[in-house]
């Protein structure tokens, strides 16, 4: 019997060994695939088990966390939700993350390996790493000023530091409070339904995710191309342009409402707003030249990210002269995000260099130790320094004498240009007023702020006037705040 007892014992041990082998398979070999399974609730639970790190604008904290008392222990809160929503985005238990909450998620949620001083040791001890901070480049004063200036109107503001590409403001109205969708309960669901079905699209980030025809503000690009290519010898030279103008090979006729545009100088055309002059110049530069110039400013780049994705601003690459003529004055299929137009103004203010725009200044761990810093990165040169100086002069002239007087800031040199646009097809779309500008304090060498404003403005459509009336004061408010804050 002893032998058979030994057999039975061996059999029993074999069963237990089978268990250990199988456990090793599950807990070690196959564990990664189980852990990554989307149905595994642990990912979510551990994510909300601790307070999320916060998003800052300078020293201003934009976010917070509140206890829920539920299974997902913490949820996101926002200190000034609607104002900063186009910067922070939302971090929702039910609907994921967007914008900075998305781009900075590894740091905010504490999963970024850079946060832990000893990653291997942490992997062994499984001690949860506290979420770090994401410090945005946004200037809270400029952001608030822009939000306040837009008020109840539909519109957007993008402001940049021309010499670095730091984004100083990203505002979109109407806005929403991201705190409303932060949870995963019935309240969040109702808010989500309401916000996503609202025809005014409060969750649309118009500053970077909506493109508008830039209208006359695009003439800055056209003028830069014309001056750089030699299509016109200087700002004060006659441009040899008719009014009305019929581009070659077409029956299309463009006419200006502004007087004295025939054969005007670039300076006059810029200050008075002569579209025929820039249409003529653009056709003279030619399609390849215009495409090259637009690309140098950042158009036609589908990969722009700040690091959140920015919608592609478009300058069509194949069209006939009639369309090219209209495209050169920001119509036809030409479309730009407010951020793109701010980059155009910034290039003028920064001597022709286009800096890559960025929204994250630095990321730190929970104690404030910096783990990552964004370095300013030039995208390229959009025009020669001389051309930039000429354009800066033209834009400043437009503020002092021309279409954009509403943008003047006391004690600073301001350059700007206005435009109108219609979203949608034909003349029936919603009209928008543009203003694109930069400002430099009187004794400073560089301009610390460039801004683009787009505002829904039914009056602009009626009068056909430029955007100076309704958009310029918004730009002025942002520039004033940016300069006042020490830039």
Enumerate the active-site residues.
216
Residue 303's CB is within 10 A of a number of other CB atoms, namely 7
Cβ proximity to another protein, 18 vs 237, nearer residue: 18
How far apart CA 424 and CA 397 sit, in angstroms, is 32
Site for another protein in 273-312 (CB under 8 A): none
Q: Is the peptide bond before 174 cis (omega within 30 degrees of 0)?
A: yes
Output 41 or 376, the one with its CB closest to another protein.
Answer: 41
- Dist CA 167 CA 104 (whole Å): 16
CA distance 478 to 463: 26
Give the span between the Cα atoms of 459 and 443, in whole angstroms. Answer: 37
How is residue 394 written in tokens?
A: 């033209």
In DSSP notation, 440-481 reads EETT-SS--EEEEEEEE-HHHHHH---THHHHHHHHHHHHHH
- Judged by CB under 8 A, the stretch of 17-25, 55-63, 344-352, 456-464 that binds another protein is 17-25
Q: How far is the CB of 35 from another protein (least distance, A)?
A: 5
The whole-angstrom distance between residue 385's C-alpha and the CA centroid of its chain comes to: 26
Q: What is the DSSP letter of 212?
A: B
Task: Establish if 445 lies at the interface with another protein (CB under 8 A).
Answer: no
Nearer to another protein, 124 or 442 (CB): 124
CA distance 209 to 206: 5
Q: Does 40 bind another protein (CB under 8 A)?
A: yes
Block residue for tokens 């033209």: 394
Query: Which is it for strands 370-373 and 360-364: parallel, antiparallel or unpaired?
Result: antiparallel
Interaction of residue 66 with another protein, rule CB under 8 A? no
Dihedral in degrees, nearest 10, Cα atoms 298, 299, 301, 302: 130
Stretch that binds another protein, among 39-47, 227-235, 317-325, 437-445 (CB under 8 A): 39-47
Provide the mask over 220-259, with x wherever binding to another protein is found by CB under 8 A and - wherever it is not. ----------------------------------------
Shortest separation between residue 34's beta carbon and another protein, angstroms: 3
The yes or no reply on residue 120 touching another protein (CB under 8 A) is no
Task: Tell me the per-residue interface mask from 123 to 152 with another protein, x by CB under 8 A, - otherwise.
Answer: -x-x--------------------------
Q: Binder to another protein among 27, 196, 373, 463 (CB under 8 A)?
A: 27
CA distance 161 to 343: 9
Which residues does residue 134 pair with via DSSP β-bridges, in sequence order? 55, 363
18 contacts another protein (rule: CB under 8 A): yes
CB of 64 to another protein, least distance (A): 22
Considering only 33-41, 311-319, 430-438, 451-459, which stretch makes contact with another protein by CB under 8 A?
A: 33-41
What does the binding site for another protein look like in residue numbers (CB under 8 A)? 1-9, 11-13, 15-16, 18-20, 22-24, 26-28, 30-35, 37-42, 45-46, 124, 126
């Amino acid at each position: 019997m002893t032998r058979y007892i030994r057999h039975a014992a061996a059999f029993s041990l074999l069963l237990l060994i089978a268990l250990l082998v199988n456990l090793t398979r599950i807990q070690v070999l196959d564990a990664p695939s189980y852990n990554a399974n989307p149905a595994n609730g642990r990912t979510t639970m551990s994510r909300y088990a601790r307070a999320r790190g916060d998003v800052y604008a300078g020293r201003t904290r934009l976010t917070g966390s509140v206890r829920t008392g539920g299974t997902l222990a913490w949820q996101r809160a926002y200190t000034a939700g609607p104002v900063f929503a186009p910067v922070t985005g939302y971090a929702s238990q039910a609907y994921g993350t967007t914008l900075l909450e998305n781009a900075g998620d590894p740091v905010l949620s504490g999963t970024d390996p850079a946060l832990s001083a000893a990653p291997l040791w942490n992997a062994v001890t499984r001690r949860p790493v506290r979420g770090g901070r994401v410090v945005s480049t946004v200037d809270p004063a400029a952001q608030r000023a822009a939000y306040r200036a837009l008020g109840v109107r539909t519109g957007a503001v993008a402001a940049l530091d021309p010499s670095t590409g730091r984004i100083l403001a990203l505002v979109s109205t109407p806005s929403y409070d991201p705190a409303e969708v932060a949870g995963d309960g019935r309240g969040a669901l109702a808010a989500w339904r309401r916000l996503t079905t609202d025809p005014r699209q409060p969750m649309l980030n118009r500053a970077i995710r909506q493109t508008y025809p830039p209208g006359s503000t695009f003439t800055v690009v056209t003028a830069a191309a014309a001056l750089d290519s030699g299509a016109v010898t200087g700002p004060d030279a006659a441009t040899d342009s008719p009014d009305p103008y019929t581009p070659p090979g077409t029956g299309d006729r463009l006419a200006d409402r502004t007087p004295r545009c025939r054969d005007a100088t670039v300076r006059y055309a810029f200050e008075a707003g002569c579209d025929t002059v820039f249409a003529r110049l653009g056709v003279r530069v030619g399609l390849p030249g215009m495409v090259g110039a637009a690309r140098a400013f950042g158009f036609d780049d589908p990969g722009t990210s700040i690091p959140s994705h920015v919608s592609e601003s478009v300058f069509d690459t194949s069209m006939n002269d009639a369309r090219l003529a209209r495209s050169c004055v920001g119509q036809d299929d030409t479309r730009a995000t407010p951020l793109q137009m701010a980059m155009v103004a910034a290039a003028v203010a920064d001597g022709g260099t286009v800096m890559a725009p960025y929204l994250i200044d630095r990321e730190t761990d929970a104690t404030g130790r910096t783990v990552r810093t964004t370095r300013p990165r030039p995208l390229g040169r959009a025009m020669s320094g001389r051309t930039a100086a000429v354009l800066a002069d033209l834009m400043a002239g437009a503020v002092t004498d021309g279409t954009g007087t509403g943008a003047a800031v006391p004690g600073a040199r301001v350059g700007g240009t206005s435009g109108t646009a219609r979203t949608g097809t034909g003349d029936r779309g919603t009209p928008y007023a543009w203003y694109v500008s930069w400002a430099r304090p009187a004794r400073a060498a560089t301009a610390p702020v460039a801004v683009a404003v787009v505002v829904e403005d039914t009056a602009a459509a009626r009068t056909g006037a430029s955007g100076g009336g309704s958009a310029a004061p918004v730009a002025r408010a942002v520039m004033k705040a940016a300069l006042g804050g020490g830039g």
